[in-house]
Structure 1
Amino acid sequence: MDATEKRPFGFWMAAALVVGGMIGSGIFVLPAQLAPYGWTGAAAWLFCTAGALVIAVVLTRLAASMPRASGAVAICAEILGPLPGMLIGWAYWVGVWSANAIISLTAIRYLGQFWPPLTATPLASSIGAVVLIWLLTALNLRGAKAAGRFQVVTTALKLLPLIAVLLIIGGLAFSGGAQFRAAPHPAFEWDQLTAAVTLAFFALIGFEGASIAAERVRDPARNVVRATLAGLVLTALLYIVVCSGIIFALPEKTAADAAAPMAMFVATFWGNDAGLAVAAFAAIAAIGCLNGWILLQGELPLGMSRAGVLPRWAGITNRRDVPVGPLVVASTLASILVLSNASKSTGALLDFMLRLTTASTLWIYIGACIAALKAGIARPFAVLGLIFALWALWGSGIQAGSLSIALIAVAVPLYFLARRGESPRAVNNDEAEQIFG
């Protein structure tokens, strides 16, 4: 296998992984979720962007300090020890496959604009989401290169509906902005900010995508940093303008009740045909996002197995170097999660899963900030990042936060089982760096 096959991602593919992982379900559902918060929701985007940038600085500084490390958790394991590193990686893995439930359901909601029976009942939506998960799992089983090419294409296409919304918002602003003042919206309230931040931060999760798949990135010391910061800044600016513009250009209840808020927004100003076109591209965006996260759900256990912190079966790959076992297990868990909630409304499922996914993913940021503090790297940023991450974790609520901890605890016996089973073989430094490949 040549170097290009082993590390198929250059800067553009790595940036596409970052942007593609972020622009997916979040931007297309959060206008409805944040509409009831009014100006508090708008402020939440600013807090989330600032927090994500601080954490991104920590992650990139850590990466620069250990250029041979394959990812963020590999660095955490090197600094904090293999068990904390494994738990952080496992928590992130939980966040990845639980996010796939949200993303697949979002794609189905927008596809339902074209074929209503697809979303006629919660069960129909759930079945459609599961089928979509497995179609993209099959694509990823063909290899990281095929998945990466698909990611570049879908990332380019998913920007089109955002451009349409930006044009409408720009036109409204250029005409005097009367539309934004037509209906009152809830004023800013400090006591609602924490909950709004936790919801909004879900949309920013994914900015660490290039770090997670660093083992697949050429010249990772350079390209991971560039891809992370460029992708985060671009996406955050789009989110602030697009999401807030949709919310404030429409009555609060109209935005809050929309099943496909972005398509509804475009249809309001440009007509039904334009709305359907946006729904199509929104579905493509969610599908592209799902593809990127399915890629990561296989890469995480692969690196952890190679480090000896998960059983060896998790590190078995096919001839295309794809970890079949972890990929199939994660997609199975995501499918079970979707189907187990088929009796609930899609809105209720999305709200809980938004919080669970955010709570699970926050542990990698917490671990990175603690590692930076211990190693004396970017300490001011690490302190601020740690405070922000703990604040967002608190905002996820007791149920989602406790469930994320319980799911992490499941990994402890697997860790000791793997280490005992491989005790005759010491784990060297090169293998330790694979923990989060």
Structure 2
Amino acid sequence: MATSPPSSPPSSRVFGFWICLALVIGNMVGSGAFLLPQALAPFGWNAIFGWIVTIAGALCLAFVFATLARHFPRAGGPYAFCREAFGRAPGFVVAWSYWISVWTANAAISVGATSYFVHLFPSLAGAPAWIALGFVWTFTLINCVSLRGVGGVQLATTILKLLPLAAAIVLTLLVSSGVTDASAPVPPLRGEDISLAAIAATVTLTLWAMVGFESATIPAGHVADAARTIPRATLIGTLAAGLIYLVACSGVALLLPAEQASQSTAPFADFIGRYWGEGPASLVAVFAMISALGALNGWVLIQGEMPTALARDGIFPAWMAKTSGAGVPVRAHLISSSLVTVLILANQARSVGDLFAVTALISTLASVVAYLACSIAALWLQQRARIGRSAALTAAALAGALYSLWAIYGAGREPVIWGLGLLLSGVPVYLLMRRNRGQGMGVTSASGREE
């Protein structure tokens, strides 16, 4: 039986329910919410059905993660769950895939924040890559200073980011009911326009927006009463974010003219501006940028905590497990943000929209690998009597696995090839760490010191 990674001492458990809830909602509602209408507009009503499938799939997966977190409330999230079920090697594959999804997500999120920043300051449109990197390293610095500071930023930005979404929901209801002049009527729902292939394509896109429901499981070592707090935050946060997305993003995609929506770099701002004027549109752009930056703050936290948990368990280099006096994994943050920097600079010739689409799809695909593995882990742990049998968990795990496979199918050939290549890049790392373990190297204590 696989042993479990060490837990953090109680003194470092600084995240309560509200911070965990803000982490879940804040990481889910980020740049995706404010850029997805551009990508979804060409699909029309297929996008609505895609949202419904994605929200249902995400809720099933959230239930799986919540249940596993209640039984195994340890740092590492997907890695910890899969190692409990299958052992070190499969756990490493999941961990490597998920870590890739996190730092590639930070590239996409920073680009999303840049798109709204450029909407506010058009004169800076010529240097989107450098603006994005400025955001990445600013929040890396914040995360390197204080865990409590990270939690405070996450809570504040989560509250602020809901304001433009609320405005879009209100405007959607007003336009749909005829209270506001609907110069762009809702396109008709026609059966011949709906196809499984189009829905599958939108499922992969909308999943990008739902990625993050597992966020509270990663820094479990810093969560007070983790076995109770994490499941509650995971389920409540996933449901809340899903409902917000369904109404707000669908309204923008359907009520903004398709040609304008598909070319917009700030669709929420353009939607508000079309009906309420340029002043409110600029205000929405400010809050949309805050939303993306809040998500970036939360995901930078995850990109540091994940490799630290892996290093403590001996499958990442031991020096990445070392933390500062405040308990912050500074080294892991620096390595992860450096990888984000390389990815952004390597694609800086792309437009903002293209750069966002490429990094978002790669990140989503890498996340789906972890989701699929955790769904199978839940079924296996029940079969081995490691956790109690539950019809609800079995049904959720099966549904989550099927949904994950469908999302992989909908991603398309290029992202799958990228994802496979990034997964294979972890093979030499695993072989090197296995050799080091055989030589008695790379083991760290819970405090991050080498032993």
- TM-score (structure 2 length as normaliser): 0.90
Post-superposition shift, 1:253?
0.8
Post-superposition shift, 1:416?
2.9
Post-superposition shift, 1:212?
1.5
Q: Which amino acid aligns with 1:336?
A: V
Of 157, 160, 173, which aligns to 1:157? 160
Q: State the SS of the aligned residue for 1:371.
A: helix
Kindly indicate whether residue 398 of structure 2 is the aligned counterpart of residue 383 of structure 1.
yes
**Structure 1 match to 2:5:** none
Of 112, 117, 128, which aligns to 1:125? 128
- Once residues 426 and 127 of structure 1 are traced to their aligned partners in structure 2, the CA distance between those partners, rounded to angstroms, is 39
Of 76, 79, 87, which aligns to 2:82? 76
- Once residues 89 and 180 of structure 1 are traced to their aligned partners in structure 2, the CA distance between those partners, rounded to angstroms, is 49
Q: State the SS of the aligned residue for 2:212.
A: coil
**Structure 2 match to 1:236:** 242
Check the 8 A contact 1:23/1:235 in 2, yes or no: yes
Q: Which one is further off, 411-420 or 31-40?
A: 411-420
- Once residues 426 and 282 of structure 1 are traced to their aligned partners in structure 2, the CA distance between those partners, rounded to angstroms, is 46
Kindly indicate whether residue 337 of structure 2 is the aligned counterpart of residue 337 of structure 1.
no
- Once residues 417 and 352 of structure 1 are traced to their aligned partners in structure 2, the CA distance between those partners, rounded to angstroms, is 30
Q: Which one is further off, 69-78 or 312-321?
A: 69-78
Check the 8 A contact 1:309/1:416 in 2, yes or no: no
**Structure 2 match to 1:406:** 421
Listed as ranges, the matches of 1:136-215 within 5 Å are 136-175=139-178, 179=182, 182=185, 184=187, 187-215=193-221
Check the 8 A contact 1:263/1:275 in 2, yes or no: yes
Q: Which one is further off, 69-78 or 18-27?
A: 69-78
- Once residues 40 and 248 of structure 1 are traced to their aligned partners in structure 2, the CA distance between those partners, rounded to angstroms, is 11
Q: Which amino acid aligns with 2:55?
A: T
**Structure 2 match to 1:13:** 19
Note closer, same or farther for the CA distance 1:223–1:30 as it changes in structure 2 (3 Å cut).
same
Post-superposition shift, 1:148?
1.1
- Once residues 22 and 111 of structure 1 are traced to their aligned partners in structure 2, the CA distance between those partners, rounded to angstroms, is 20
Post-superposition shift, 1:251?
1.5
**Structure 2 match to 1:365:** 371
Post-superposition shift, 1:176?
6.2
- Once residues 71 and 93 of structure 1 are traced to their aligned partners in structure 2, the CA distance between those partners, rounded to angstroms, is 11
**Structure 2 match to 1:256:** 262
CA RMSD of aligned residues (A): 2.3
Check the 8 A contact 1:166/1:241 in 2, yes or no: yes
- Once residues 323 and 394 of structure 1 are traced to their aligned partners in structure 2, the CA distance between those partners, rounded to angstroms, is 36
Alignment: residue pair count? 428
Kindly indicate whether residue 437 of structure 2 is the aligned counterpart of residue 422 of structure 1.
yes
Note closer, same or farther for the CA distance 1:185–1:297 as it changes in structure 2 (3 Å cut).
farther
Q: Which amino acid aligns with 1:268?
A: R
Q: Which amino acid aligns with 1:251?
A: P
- 1:265-301 CA distance string (max 9 Å, x none): 1111111010000000000000000010001000010
**Structure 2 match to 1:352:** 358
- 1:36-55 CA distance string (max 9 Å, x none): 00000111000000101111
Q: Percent identity?
A: 37
Q: Which runs of 5+ in 2 are unaligned?
A: 1-7, 383-388
Post-superposition shift, 1:426?
9.8
Check the 8 A contact 2:101/2:363 in 1, yes or no: yes
Q: Which runs of 5+ in 1 are unaligned?
A: none
**Structure 1 match to 2:305:** 299
Post-superposition shift, 1:422?
3.4
Check the 8 A contact 1:69/1:75 in 2, yes or no: no
Q: Which amino acid aligns with 1:400?
A: P
- Once residues 230 and 34 of structure 2 are traced to their aligned partners in structure 1, the CA distance between those partners, rounded to angstroms, is 26
Q: Which amino acid aligns with 1:351?
A: A
Check the 8 A contact 2:44/2:253 in 1, yes or no: yes
- Once residues 102 and 69 of structure 1 are traced to their aligned partners in structure 2, the CA distance between those partners, rounded to angstroms, is 25
Of 198, 213, 222, which aligns to 2:228? 222
- TM-score (structure 1 length as normaliser): 0.93
Note closer, same or farther for the CA distance 1:225–1:133 as it changes in structure 2 (3 Å cut).
same
Kindly indicate whether residue 409 of structure 2 is the aligned counterpart of residue 394 of structure 1.
yes
Check the 8 A contact 2:146/2:326 in 1, yes or no: yes
Check the 8 A contact 2:368/2:404 in 1, yes or no: yes
Listed as ranges, the matches of 1:302-313 within 5 Å are 302-313=308-319
- Once residues 178 and 192 of structure 1 are traced to their aligned partners in structure 2, the CA distance between those partners, rounded to angstroms, is 30
Note closer, same or farther for the CA distance 1:349–1:397 as it changes in structure 2 (3 Å cut).
same
Q: Which one is further off, 65-74 or 318-327?
A: 65-74
Check the 8 A contact 2:436/2:442 in 1, yes or no: no
Q: Which amino acid aligns with 1:173?
A: S
